[in-house]
């Protein structure tokens, strides 16, 4: 597996690799449940953009895969063809 970086704002919970795949990192939630390492599936939403659902403190939100990639790998953001 390639090296993962934690997504800013989701430290210790979610990570991303340079290929743009998002992973839930192994952790323990507020109620004591162990959350195993897992690959998250992106879905096409709206005008054809890829999104993933991420949860913080029990609140789930959809985040653009493109925006998460730009935050996590700012040195590669010039390689993306879609304007933010």
Per residue of the chain (84 residues), give pLDDT as tens. 568 899 999 988 999 999 989 999 998 877 888 989 999 999 998 888 999 999 888 889 999 999 999 999 988 766 555 544
* pTM score of the predicted model: 0.79
- Which residues, 6 or more positions from 35, have their beta carbon under 8 angstroms from its beta carbon? 24, 26, 27, 28, 29
Class of the CATH-defined domain 5-75: alpha beta
In Å, how far are 28, 30, 71, 74, 82 from 34, measured between CA atoms?
4, 10, 27, 31, 37
Q: Residue 73, CB half-sphere, CA atoms under 13 Å: how many?
A: 19
Domain boundaries, the chain: 5-75
Go through the chain and tell me how many residues it has. Answer: 84
């Amino acid at each position: 597996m390639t090296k993962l970086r934690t997504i800013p704002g989701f430290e210790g919970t979610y990570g991303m690799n340079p290929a743009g795949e998002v992973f839930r990192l192994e952790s323990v939630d507020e109620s004591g449940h162990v959350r195993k390492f897992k690959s998250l599936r992106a879905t096409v939403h709206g005008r054809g953009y890829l999104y993933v659902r991420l949860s913080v403190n029990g609140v789930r939100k959809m985040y653009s895969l493109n925006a998460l990639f730009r935050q996590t790998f700012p040195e590669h953001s010039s390689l993306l063809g879609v304007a933010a």
